A and B are shown apart, each in its own frame.
Chain A
Amino acid sequence: MADAAIDKVERTRAAGDEPALRVTGVSKSFSGVPALRDVSVEFNPGEVHAILGENGAGKSTLINIISGTFPPSEGEIWFEGRKIEEMTPALASSLGIATCFQHPAILDDLSVLENLRVALPAALFSRPSPPEAARRMLAGVGLEVPPRMRAGGLSVAQKHLLEIAKALALKPKILILDEPTASLDQDATDMLFARIQDLVKSGTAVIYITHRLAELRRIADHVTVLRDGRVRGSAPVGDIGDADLVNLIVGRTLESAFPPKSPRDGGDIAFSATGLTARGVTNVSFDVARGQIVGIAGVAGNGQSELMRVLAGLHPATGAVTLHGRQLSPSELLHEAAFMPSDRHTEGVASGLTVRENATFSALERFATGGIVDGRKEADQVKAIFGELAVKAPGLEAPILSLSGGNQQKVVMSRALLSEPGLIIADEPTQGVDVGARFEIYRILRDVSEAGTPVVVNSSDAVELEGLCDKVIVLSRGHAVETLTGKDVTEARIVEAAVRAETHVRESPPNATASRPGGLRHFVQSDNAPAVPLALVTILLGLYVYSQNDNFLSAYNIYNIFLLATALGFIAMGQTVALLMGGIDLSVGPLAGFLVVVASFFVNEDKSALVIAIGFLLMFGGAFVTGAVNGILIRYANFTPIAATLAMYIAIQGFSFLLRDNPDGYISYPVTDWINWQWGPFPVAFLVLVATAIVAEYVLRRTKAGWRLRAIGSDEDSARRIGTRVDLAFIGGYVTCSLFTALGAIMLMTQIGVGDPRQGVNYTLASITAVVLGGTSLSGGRGTFIGSVLGAVLLTEVLAAVTFLGLTQTYQYLFQGLLILVAALIYSAVRRRAAH
């Protein structure tokens, strides 16, 4: 019906006042749970169109569909009168649709400048210079940070501003803002609104997601309300009153939804917290009377979640916690409190395990005698509690993720109750829970509290706190600024207290790194910083060994060390590519050996130049196929990088033996001489390696391909949202890795001089060691080719040094082990310090 109406409007419209964007009949479900149902909305140019709704109403799903993050299950998207067949992030940005996500698509491992450049067209940076252009973009949103600073050092609010700067720089036709002010202070909010008004004047359509009525009144022209995935109403802002809007948003009357409150007021104190102070929480005191539920409220990010963790005994804090008149030590608190985390997917349930296992893992002692669990007792108790809580599950042994969000949350509650806690700490207990289950959860919390267990609930939903709690503590900047009880526990009073105390989050003081300019500081934090200490260690070690043995620094020996390091260096560069993407390639060693075996059939003394050329071509061809297969197995067959490259490792070894049972096929001397060409004490091949590393480094730091590679390793989701074709880039990365390995294999070929199927495998671990020494992180996103080459040189040097010092092989291994462990420990300590 609605579609028909809209179509009619569409047809009668003149081409000039087309809506900028129109979605018709859009539906989307996740695991069978509908998130959007038949949603149709029009967004007009020169208008701020607010989308209003509770948590889980489908607002974020809608904008993800508009911006192409995922496709709708049904429905169409029309842009300026054209139907968009398949919206992708890349298409959206080329059409001029810019999105500021609630969780900014900012890549922590890239610098602020790189974050801007990877997401925006190069043309925007052509004048005057990239850093200057970036500085202007940042100034436009009042963000004063050095462009070379790593984005990981930004505060949450600064990341939001950066995200907004990215969107504004595109001068978008459609700007989507998903709760942009959640973490902004008052000045930043005013600035943002001014910028939005400028944009609207120039004809941009702004889609503004919010759940604050006040903002809506200030900025929006039109409003659409979503509830439970459906459009509940749409009107010009001036035509609709707050009361009507609230009714549309909530759509239920409170009395029927919530269980009755505690009839007692006051009474015995069951639980009290006095002067709690911890990171993010300052001097919070309150008490809970028997039978009462206490709510924690405030604008998001004002210390609520920290307080919940303190109350659960998970974060250290000063102050006293008393339960039923007895003061608890930290370990007693941890034992007594049952914590229901807000992030159910990562903290609430252990995915991959069954419903039963998830329901009992914190309560196992109760079913155990002498540490051995009684399965029957466990199953009986789980059945009993599931009956009480009305958990709907296909069976006790069903995977936990096969349950709906609400039932998963009930399993988390079951676990909390089974552990017979003295105290229940529920952090956002109804987030992502469907409406029916939500009321069940309220009932359970009320029952538990009636039975005498104190309950503390944190919720960002003031309506929920009003309906559920007997007492609400409002936090602002970590302080308890208001305690509401009895009739004062209303949505209005809660919101008022939260907002009046401190309108917005105070901007966290910019950290030292941000405020202190200067190149040195940036260099120390940069990916290439390890190069300096590595080079120093390499030189000092060289000098030390030289002082013990004159021959060490002879031209001949230097040449040899560099020559050995060249093979490892190329392979390590390949490994660096894999690690930068957050992967790993275990197959590089056998691949290098295999390629040498391939070469041993072609690159021989008696072969013509053409045959030799074909041999080299086949080496690169084999490398290409190997890399592509690795990449495809990982991206399309869902292998983990380790599993895929391990299978490849074994298979390639097999192929080597298939080609040659025993060493044979001597490599041509002229070719070897040519490759090992010496220039002073240096092999020319090593100089080529260094040049390659510098070029690769340039590509990594200064081109879109490099930024995207690092973006994938840093955060795949964000990389996708800024328009990276992740699958393709990943396969490309593995191919690059294998091609570098092929270069290493050419060097290896001259060293072995014969096709030997047993050679090469050691290069897998050696390459990982070299790369780690060079300072590349195995968690992806951060790495350096120059470091990897230096790592390869140092590793080769250490092995040579052991011989020259007349030490046994014991020391060779010992030094290798110590080197990698000490380097890894230092790097991880530095990174952790930089993160704080």
Chain B
Amino acid sequence: MSSSTDSPTLTTETTQLSPQPDTETAKPTKKITLKSSDNQIFEVEESVAMEFATVKSFFEDSPSTDTVPLPNVTAKPLSQVIEFCKEQIKFKANPDEAQKKKYNAEFVTEKSDKDLVDMIPVANYLEIKDLLDVLNQAVADRIENKSVEYVRSFFGIDNDFTAEEEAALRREHAWAYEGVDED
């Protein structure tokens, strides 16, 4: 672009005109490659990858890398997390709280219990606060009115109370066990 050595009459024209097509067409969005623990490769736009605080700081530490290994993350939850973040980028560009709420609600509604639970450690590891918040609320909503037995199996928790201890706890706060949804 430096035309100062060329004929001075043209300089003003070229410097004024050339930057425009340059910035619009010649700047392809940078892609970043993420590699899941099960060796799947995900190519995402830089803006999406920068939503992941963990990936962002990885790049700040070693800017020359082109593939970011994510040893704690498997492909399925990662793909869902990427899907979520892509949408959030759009909302960042065009803020629309109502649409965002609607999207977030639909995002979790269509997921299975397992999908939600599998995404939580991923969102936590990648430090995506908004998503973590949405997921925690969605899981809380799913177990809120459920029986103790249901919640145990939801999280894969073993009951380590004796039958007597459990009965005593239930008696102590009997009202809390009323009006529970069917499993």
A binds B: no
Interface on B for A, CB 8 Å cutoff? none
Interface on A for B, CB 8 Å cutoff? none
